[in-house]
Structures are given as C-alpha cells and as structure tokens.
Structure 1
Amino acid sequence: MSAAEGAAVSRAEYCVVACAEAWRDNGEVLASPMGLIPSVGARLAKRTFSPDLLLTDGEAMLVGLDGRPEGWLPYRRHLTMVTGGRRHVMMGASQIDRYGNQNISCIGDWERPARQLLGVRGAPVNTLNNPVSYWVPKHSARVFVEKVDMVCGVGYDNAAAAGPSATRYHRIPRVVSGLGVFDFATPDRSMRLVSLYPGVTVGRVREATGFALTVPDEVPYTREPTADELRLIREVIDPRGLREREVGS
C-alpha cells in the first residue's frame, strides 16, 4: 500500500465514492458531472465498475480517462442524447425540496428576488428526459427547503401533476450532500436518507434539513472506497487533492 493509500479516508473521498455510485450499472451513457467531486466520481466510476460510461469535457469533446480528447460531440448530438435519455447528469442545487424540485434561478419572489442565480438553464429538459442526480457540498436548511422559490429541475410531485408525458423518463436516482446520501424510494416519492458518512449523525442531518426526511430505523454508513479506488483518487484522478476544498472535514 502506498503512503497515499495509508491515510485515513476523508469526508471528500466518501463523497467521491457516493457520487461515483450514481453511475453504477448505467451502461453506455454520457456522464455529465457538474462540480469537482462529481467529476472525480464520474472518472472513478469509468475506471472501475462502469467502464462503458462516456465522459465529456463539458463542451464539445468526449474525453478519455486521462482527460484528453478522444471524440467529438457536437451540441446537436449532445441534445439528441439528452432527449433520448442517454445521459445521466449530476447537477448542483441552490435549493432542493422534499420531492426533488431544484432551484438554481433566484432566491425570493420571482417578481423581486433577493438573489439572482444562474437561471433555469437546461434543468427542466434535463429532468424530464434523462436521469438527474444532485450534488450539494454544503448541506443546510437554506438549501434543503420545504418549498423551492422557483422550480428549475422538476421534482416527483410536479412531474406527476403534469402527467405521463412528464413522468415517462423522469428519474432522480440520488442526492449526494456533504452529510450523506439520499434518494426518493418512498411511497410518496419524498426524500429518504440512505446513508451517512462516518462522524455524521441522523440528528445532525435532520437539523440541517428544512423538511421532515424519511429516515429508516437503521441507517448504514456510506461504503468506504476500496484500496484501488483510493489509489486512483489520490494518485491518478486528483493527485493535487482539490477535492478536499469542496467539502469540510
């Protein structure tokens, strides 16, 4: 075992593994991670348990394991993959609610918002046409809210209200935060706590969440990275340790 592998597993590395798991068994789809830790996670998934993933530089190129271009993906082809459900994107969220509605547009009333953010961008099309997971590094009640100020990414309740045309391809596999992993595998499709990182308690997660989570009687810890995964994260994919800047200890 190398010196890098011998160090204790950090919170950021648990987050990387949790993000990587979002693409397990996805097959040959375009992985579109937004954010540093999701990007490390996508590359880890491709190097280990999801070798058929396609990786993109976020613009017009398909890239290999070393980040070098190995194919051209013009925007029209990218959109074809989106509308055909052949992409799994992991987006960020300025707000997310119990049913997975996501907001990246504004904070406050639309008529006079207190904060202007990125804008709706492609979130509605993403969520209604291909799997969308979310990455939230700083888990707080300001982000995990009872109701988002504006719906950008469509949640399960709004998709159901819109009918079969909206629900046919709508899927939110998981939400990964700096405190744990969540999904929507509940009867009413509300958010459920799936796993915690070592050192995090259920009580802490509840305090940092602005709505009532579904919490199983027994909540496991997020799986540890294997020795080979740690080697890849620390020595190959992110040797500069940039992941540690995104998540606190």
Structure 2
Amino acid sequence: MTGTGVTRAEYCVIACAEAWRDDGEVLASPMGLIPSFGARLAKRTFSPDLLLTDGEAMLVGLDGTVEGWLPYRQHLTMVTGGRRHVMMGASQLDRHGNQNISCIGDWARPTRQLLGVRGAPVNTLNNPTSYWVARHSPRVFVESVDMVCGVGHDRAAAHPRTARFHRIPRVVTDLAVLDFAAPGHVMRLASLHPGVTVEQVRAATGFALHVPDEVPYTREPTSRELELIREVIDPARARDREVADPAGR
C-alpha cells in the first residue's frame, strides 16, 4: 500500500478503467478480474455510455440486470465495425504489440499448449484491443512472440487495407502502463504505478523498451472512485488476490 493508502491492485483498476475513457457507446469486453472492475468503474464515472456484457448473449446494467439481448450476429457487427473495445490477456507480447495466447515454442512441437488463437486476430484487426498482464516479466514481454495471435503495429502497417480499425490503446501490468506512442509505434513506458521504478520495469521487459525522459506516475484515484472500488464493485477485495500489494498490507 502506498503512502496515500491506495493499493497496487487499485492503481491497476484505475489504469484499466482509463482504457475506456472517451470511448462513447461501445461494447466493453474485459477479460479478467481487474479489467472487469475497471470497465465497471469507467461506466459508473467518466464513461457512462459504455455497454457491458455478461460475456454470453446479454447486455447488462451495473448491477447485472439484463438490459438487452446481444445475439452473435449483432455482436459480430459491433466487432467488425470497430464499436467494441476488448481488454485481453497475453502470454507473450513483443515491442510492436504482437500477442501470443496459443503456444510456447515451435507451433509444430510446442513446449506448452495454451488457449489457442481464438478471436485475437479478428479483435485486433477490427476493434480497439488493450491488454492486461497481471505479472510483468521477461517471459511475457519478449523480443519475438512464438506465434502471432493478436496483430501488432508492424503487421498491421504491412497490410493497411485489412486493419483500418486496428488500435492498441494501452497495456496495463502490475508495474506500469505502456502504450505505442513512440516513433514507429513501438512499446513505450507511459506511466509507473507508485512505488515502481523505471529500472524495475526495464528489468522485467525482455526487449529495449522506449522510455521517455520523464515518466509520470499512474494517476491517483479520486475519493469517489476508491469508494466505488472498495464498497460497491469489489467489497470482497478479490482484486488483492490477483495483484498483491508489495508491502504485504
């Protein structure tokens, strides 16, 4: 817990919520606990027009009440028209934002079988795709992914006619927020969570990360946001099981 009493997990929730700022009426599709809390916080505060889904076939309100039917055909229409912003996980990410969730090692004889490609190519080519990584390490942030599932900036640039909706707004980890605002759309250190140093992030990244001369800290949550996280969205503190506070409190 920092001097302000905000835990590392709460900074991660705030950083994930910020991914949906100014998105307007789009479908928020968070994958994972912290991103889900972030999407709900964003809708309750600065992005009230967000649409939330139960992950199956319904649009839901903040309390989980069904607000509408979202058949697969309509869902695909939103995806292919850029009206969805998904926050996925990643087993590997490279400096260009290429993502792997399929296998570790050679595809013909992998050392680890993972989820498979799933919807990653369609997501990244057709609607904004951010990423959440709960453990920032050189095993995730690699020089070259073993298999491309989510399409990065270099591959999108090579095929611009197929990637008009391609956008990777941010990558949130337990250490920092990263984006692709550096020259050549390579990964850049956008902010540090309080208590984290640039050296820690560099050591946990398996490639030369673009680091600006000055790196800000991830913004502080407002008192209202903290109240919502702690008392409404996650009173059971499940967030702390995914991202432990370094001070152990």
Alignment of 1:110-189 (within 5 A): 110-161=107-158, 163-189=159-185
Amino acid at match of 1:208: A
Aligned to 2:38: 41
For residues 81 and 179 of structure 2, the distance between their equivalents in structure 1, rounded to whole angstroms, comes to 23
- Per-residue CA deviations over 1:87-111 (Å, capped at 9, x if unaligned) read 0000000000000000000000001
- Per-residue CA deviations over 1:189-233 (Å, capped at 9, x if unaligned) read 100000001110000000000000100111110001100000000
For residues 17 and 222 of structure 2, the distance between their equivalents in structure 1, rounded to whole angstroms, comes to 13
Instruction: Give the C-alpha shift of residue 167 in structure 1.
Output: 3.1
Alignment of 1:23-102 (within 5 A): 23-102=20-99
The reply on whether 1:202 has 2:198 as its aligned counterpart is: yes
For residues 55 and 208 of structure 2, the distance between their equivalents in structure 1, rounded to whole angstroms, comes to 35
Instruction: Give the C-alpha shift of residue 7 in structure 1.
Output: 7.8
For residues 189 and 141 of structure 2, the distance between their equivalents in structure 1, rounded to whole angstroms, comes to 13
8 Å contact 2:126–2:163 — kept in the other structure? no
* Long gaps (5+) in structure 2: none
Q: Look up the SS of the partner of 2:138 in the other structure.
A: coil
Taking only the aligned residue pairs, the percentage that are identical comes to 80
Distance verdict in 2 for CA 1:187–1:7, change over 3 Å: closer
Q: Look up the SS of the partner of 2:211 in the other structure.
A: coil
For residues 40 and 22 of structure 2, the distance between their equivalents in structure 1, rounded to whole angstroms, comes to 14
For residues 111 and 167 of structure 1, the distance between their equivalents in structure 2, rounded to whole angstroms, comes to 28
TM-score between the two structures when normalised by the length of structure 1 = 0.96
Name the Cα RMSD after superposition.
Answer: 1.1
Instruction: Give the C-alpha shift of residue 169 in structure 1.
Output: 1.1
For residues 194 and 118 of structure 2, the distance between their equivalents in structure 1, rounded to whole angstroms, comes to 35
For residues 32 and 190 of structure 1, the distance between their equivalents in structure 2, rounded to whole angstroms, comes to 24
TM-score between the two structures when normalised by the length of structure 2 = 0.96
Aligned to 1:244: 240
Amino acid at match of 2:191: S
Instruction: Give the C-alpha shift of residue 151 in structure 1.
Output: 0.2
8 Å contact 2:96–2:185 — kept in the other structure? yes
- Per-residue CA deviations over 1:28-54 (Å, capped at 9, x if unaligned) read 000000000000000000000000000
Q: Look up the SS of the partner of 2:75 in the other structure.
A: helix
8 Å contact 1:30–1:87 — kept in the other structure? yes
8 Å contact 1:24–1:50 — kept in the other structure? yes
The reply on whether 1:230 has 2:230 as its aligned counterpart is: no
- Per-residue CA deviations over 1:135-193 (Å, capped at 9, x if unaligned) read 001000000000000000000001112x2223311100000001000000112110000
For residues 4 and 176 of structure 2, the distance between their equivalents in structure 1, rounded to whole angstroms, comes to 21
Q: Look up the SS of the partner of 1:42 in the other structure.
A: helix
Q: Look up the SS of the partner of 1:120 in the other structure.
A: coil
Aligned residues: 243
* Long gaps (5+) in structure 1: 1-5
The reply on whether 1:18 has 2:15 as its aligned counterpart is: yes
8 Å contact 1:160–1:166 — kept in the other structure? no
For residues 33 and 59 of structure 2, the distance between their equivalents in structure 1, rounded to whole angstroms, comes to 17
- Per-residue CA deviations over 1:55-80 (Å, capped at 9, x if unaligned) read 00111111101122211101111111
Q: Look up the SS of the partner of 1:188 in the other structure.
A: helix
